[in-house]
Structures are given as structure tokens and as C-alpha cells.
Structure 1
Amino acid sequence: MPQPSISSPVNAPASAHAILWGRALRVFAWLSFLAQTIIIGTGGAVRLTGSGLGCSEWPLCTPESLVPIYADQGIHGIIEFGNRVMTGVVGIIALAVLLLVLARVGGRLLVFSALRFAGAGILAAVITFVIVSLFSLPATPFAMGALLIAVIAAMVRSFRLTTDRRDLVVLAWIVLLGVVAQALVGGITVLTGLNPFIVGFHYVSSLLLVCVTAAFLVRLYGQPGPRERAVPKWFAILSHVTGLALAVTIVFGVLTTGSGPHSGDADVLRHGFDATVLAHVHAWPGYILAALVATLTISAWVLRLDPRKWLLVLVLAILVQVGVGIWQAREGLPPLLVGIHMVLASLSAATYTVVVLHLKKPVAPRE
């Protein structure tokens, strides 16, 4: 008999308490996916409105305050501070998902272990901040680094203690670890004056977290246990080649945006590439991607393969993405269309992630 899913305990008795916790986990898992997508939009708003240095300091907004207090900060300070607040929301939701998973999988042992590491990490961050401050160095990045190390140690500890639904535990930890790392990268972005390469890395990292939260949802609703390939080998290989085309398209899209007019602040210089040339280079892997997805979709429906419905969603997402890309290029890159293009890229990547996870199916139980 297959092991019941953590989210849908089929063929196993479930108490009202377990059902309630399962529902809470599903709700927060969806909130995590939505929050990771929304923060790409708010981060894009910071860049596209020239608000990247609306808060001149990090983690404070000004040398004297956590929030924008100067009149000359104006709307830019509000937009930048709003994105920082959204980072906190994303982190709280990610922590809630992790604790709910640990509670359902390992009970109090795993939860208390994670909380102990959290307390130790906060203490280590405070001590690091105090020590580094004595040398008149920027202490916050070092403190965040200490906290990041504590999160990694806690993650390794959870892996060792987990025997059930390790897939969900791994994904939940990756999201929380990613949020902490993203906060550190965001601070470095401000401290380096919006270096375009760091800004681009910041966006790609956020996009990957959207993909991880999408993967968590798929595994949460899926049947646990060993899995086997559910599609022909050539189809699986072509699917991974499609993923490579998607990655190349996104990377060149980031480089194109990094060469364009939306630097995040009027005084920030771009990295010097020719944006017009990059826009054409960005389109080439995009057309290859569209052809590959079309091939996969037609093949999946002809062979009636499991990923076929999600491939249709991916086709729709890419068609809209291509349409918005052409539109924004012809209109001179208006900020709203560029922002929509950024969010759609993350949703396309998340949909592709779901497609890949449907290339396998649970191993059928032996009689």
C-alpha cells in the first residue's frame, strides 16, 4: 500500500488535528508561492521607478531610521521600503511553512531542533554585529552571514533527523535559506550602488525561489514514495533541453534589461553592453524555446502523456510572454510592460518546473 500523502491522508485514519494542520500547510504553501511571485513584482517596481536607492542605507533606510523620513526620499523611499517589508513577509511565510512541515513529519523533536538553531543563529548574528562594529566595518552583512550559516547548520540537522517526506523538508528549507540569502544579496546590492550584475543575480535568485515553491506545491499534493519515469526517454531528454533553452532565454533577458534604461536609479551606470543587440540575442533562444515547447506539447497530447495539460499552460505563458516582449520593445520599454515581462518569466519558469515534476510518477505497489 502506498504511503499516504502528508496533504491528503488517503487510506489512513486522520484526526481532526492532523487535518487542520494539513490544511494550514496547504494554505501557507500557496501563500509562499504567491509571495515569492509578488516580491518579483515589487522588486521590479523598485528598479523600474528608479527607486533602487530610495533607501540609501541597509538594513536601515536612512542613517538614523528604519523607515524613510526625509522629504527628498519621496515616493522612491516608500517604494524601496515597501519592497523591504515584503521581504519580511516572505520570510515569515517561509518559516511558517517549514515549521508546519517539520511538525507534521517529525513532531516536536524537529520543530524544537529548528527553533534552537534559530535562537543560536540570532545570538551569533548579534555577537558578530557587535564585534565587527568595533572595527568600524559594515557589520550587518557579516551578521547576516552568521545567521545564514546557522540556517544551513539547522537544515543539515533536520535532514539527518528526517525519515519521512524528506522531499518536503528539503524544499521548505531551501526556500527559507533562499530568503535569508536574498536579504543578504539585497543589502549588497544597495551597498554596491546597484551593481547591474548583482541586481541581475538578485532577480534570477528570486525566480528560482518561485520555482522551488511551485515544486513544493506539486510534491505536497502528490503521492509520496519512490518515483519512476512516466514518459519515453527521448521525451524526458527533450524536456531537459527545453529547460536549458528557457534558462538561456532568461539569462539573456536579464542581461538585456541590465543594459537598458531601467537601472534602478538615475545616476547608476549600466554594464555597457549594447541593449539593441542583446534584445535580438535574447529573442533567438526564445524562439527556439517556443519551438521546443510546441514539439513537446504536440507529442504529449498524441501520446497522452501526463505532463500534457501543464504543457498547454506553458504554451500559453510563453505566448503571452513573447507578445509582451514584442510590445515592450516597440513601445520603447515602458516600465509597466517590463515589469509584467519580469513576472511572467518567473511564472513560465515555475510552470516548466511543474512539467518536469510530471515526467515521473509514483512507483506502483507490488502485489
Structure 2
Amino acid sequence: MPGVSNRTLLRPLALTSLIANIALVVTGAAVRLTKSGLGCPTWPRCTDESYTTTPEMGINGVIEFGNRVLGIVLGLIALAALVAALLEKPRRRSLIILALAAGLGIPGQGVIGGITVLTDLNPWVVGLHFLLSMTLIALTYALWKRTREGDRPRRTLVPTPLPTLARLTALISAAVIVVGVIVTGSGPHAGDAGARRNGLDPELVSQAHADLVFLLIGLSVALWYALRAVKAPRAAIRAAGILVVVELAQGLIGFIQYFTHLPVILVAAHMLGACLVWVATLNVLWSLRERPFHEARPAPAPVALEPTEPATPTPVA
């Protein structure tokens, strides 16, 4: 079918970019949790004399430099995806815009990462670094999904109130992530022993975060039941069910890490879980609509045949 992007390299490149952005969050967590945030104490160089780590910098320098290298790899993947979008036949502006936006976010990440180092791991800048990753995950997910869609007007597959409920759920999901960033900035894992925290009460912001999580799970369960009630497409019901399961798993990790005083391995798992919750949220939104490549043509009406009179039998002499 003309215009189907998965016949080119764009679809696998978009998926690779999505996975790489999630991996960048995980490696960023490793940088922070191993106190390697200042493993390379300056930027854009790793030291005043070298762009790469040196043996004297030890394992912390290797971890921080490895995270920077992954950012470069991510930029190359994004560039390849943009080139693939430009080579699409026919060329589709929506794919080019998404690929370009995702590509521009990578140097943006580098600059914010540099500011993070130059401000000695200011917790608000570190939080902005994470939120930009969430934005890039959304962009690359959208690019991946759009390669299977056309550019016709969007068509909703469920009754009108349900997309509104899904958008509200997505809004609360985003709020959970933002407040989670604030919780992280008030906690003990600063990325370096000398880095300051945001000064907020960890218990207070953790409670606000937990309240939002309960609200998110409640909305997600309600959405799942509503989709089943209206006999929505199976893909939409499945997407909502996956979201609930991922949220419950993430909530369990969050509670365990809180009551066990934030062990490193659980904090890393929680950051990966945040990415998975966000992707599952986006999956629900996309499952409720479609964009066909071509307008659906109504089936031709059956032609009514006029009844014919039976032939008069010829009399036999």
C-alpha cells in the first residue's frame, strides 16, 4: 500500500529511538545512584584537557562518560530516523515534524546535562533533564505509531466521554511523573556526596506523590471498566488493562522502596517503571483512535431487480 512507512527503515528506527531514550533514563539513574554525577566534572569535556574519561577518574568517570556516549548514539539514531522520514515516498510532513522534534531534543538533552554538571547537580536542573527524556519518549512513541497510520482526519473508536477520561488519566499520569521528580530532588540520592537537595520535606512530597498514584490507578481502573462496558475494540481494552497492571507493579515498587529507605536497586527499577507507565499511558490514548490511509468507501447498495412475469405457456394443438 503506498505510504506505508514500515516498508522502509523508519519504523524500526523509530522503535530503536524509543527504546534508546528509555535506556538513557536507566543509565542516567545509574549515574545518579552510583554518585557518578560529577564523574566528569566539567562539560562538554570530561576533564579540562580531555573529552574522554581518564584512568585516574575511576569507575565514576567511566559511568558518567558512558552515559554521554549513549547520548551521542541516541543522536545518531534520531538523525537516521529523520533521514528515513525525508526519504519516504510519498513524503509525509507529520513524520518529518515528529522525527525533527525528537532529533532536536537530543542536543537539548546534552545542553541540559552540561548545565547539570556546571551547576553541581542542581536538583531542579536534574529534574528538567528527566522530564525532557519523558517528552522524547512521547515523541518517539508517536513517531513509531504514526508510521502505521495515514494522514486522514483522526477517527475515534469509542463513545465521546471515554477519550476525555483517557486524556484526564494521561494528565494525572504526567502529574505523577512531575511530582515524582520533586520527590527525587528531596531524597538522598543526589548523584554526588556534595550535591545539594531541593530543601522540600521528603515525607510531605512523597505523600502528595502517593495520593496522585492512587488517583491515577482509580482512573485507569474506571477507564478499563468503561471500555469493557461499551464493548470497545479489544486492543483498547487490552491497553487499559496493561496500564493498570504496570501501575500496580510500579506502585508496589514505590511503596517497598519508601519503607526500605530507598535501596539503590529499587530506585533504579522505579525509574524504569516510570518510563513504562508513561508508555502504557500513551498506548491507551493511541488505542482509542485511528487515522486511515484512505477514506473508507461505503459499500455499493444492492441493485434491486424488477420481478419478471412468468412466460405464458404455449397451448398445444
Contact preservation (8 Å) 1:4, 1:224: no
Partner SS for 1:221: coil
Q: 1:271 aligns with which of 198, 203, 212?
A: 198
Indicate if the aligned counterparts of 1:36 and 1:209 stay in contact, CA closer than 8 A: yes
Task: Give the corresponding residue for 2:302.
Answer: none
Counterparts in 2 of 1:106-145, with a 5 A limit?
none
- TM-score by length of structure 2 reads 0.89
Matched residue count? 294
Q: Is the 8 A contact 2:149 2:290 kept in 1?
A: no
Structure 1 counterpart of 2:26, which letter? G
Which consecutive residues of structure 1, in runs of 5 or more, have no partner in the other structure?
9-18, 107-163
Give the corresponding residue for 2:306: none
8 Å CA contact retained: 2:26, 2:272: yes
In structure 1, the residue matched to 2:37 is 52
1:175 to 97, 102, 125: 102
* Residue of 3, 6, 27 corresponding to 2:12: 27
Query: What CA distance in whole angstroms lies between the structure 2 residues aligned with 1:78 and 1:304?
Result: 53
Q: Is the 8 A contact 1:5 1:221 kept in 2?
A: no
How far off is 1:217 after superposition? 1.4
Larger radius of gyration: 2
Cα offset for 1:184?
0.9
The one-letter amino acid of 2:29's match is G
Tell me if structure 2 keeps the 8 A contact 1:47–1:265.
Answer: yes
Cα contact 2:121–2:195 (8 A) shared by 1: yes
Q: Distance in 1 between matches of 2:55 and 2:150?
A: 54
The residue that corresponds to 2:181 in the other structure is 254
Aligned with residue 343 of structure 1, among 272, 283, 307: 272
Q: Does 1:95 align with 2:95?
A: no
Map of 1:92-241 to 2, 5 A cutoff? 92-105=76-89, 164-241=91-168
Query: Which residue matches 1:285?
Result: 212
Instruction: Compute the TM-score of the two structures, normalised by the length of structure 1.
Output: 0.77
Task: Give the Cα–Cα distance (whole angstroms) in 2 for the partners of residues 217 and 313 of structure 1.
Answer: 19
The aligned counterpart of 2:248 is 319
* Mean CA deviation greater in 222-231 or 342-351: 222-231
Deviations 1:33-57 (A, max 9, x none): 1101100000111111111000011
- Give the drift of 1:170: 1.4
1:51 partner amino acid: S
Letter in 1 for 2:60: H
Deviation (angstroms), 1:223: 4.0
Matched, 1:6 2:34: no
Q: Percent identity?
A: 39
Q: CA deviation at 1:70?
A: 4.8
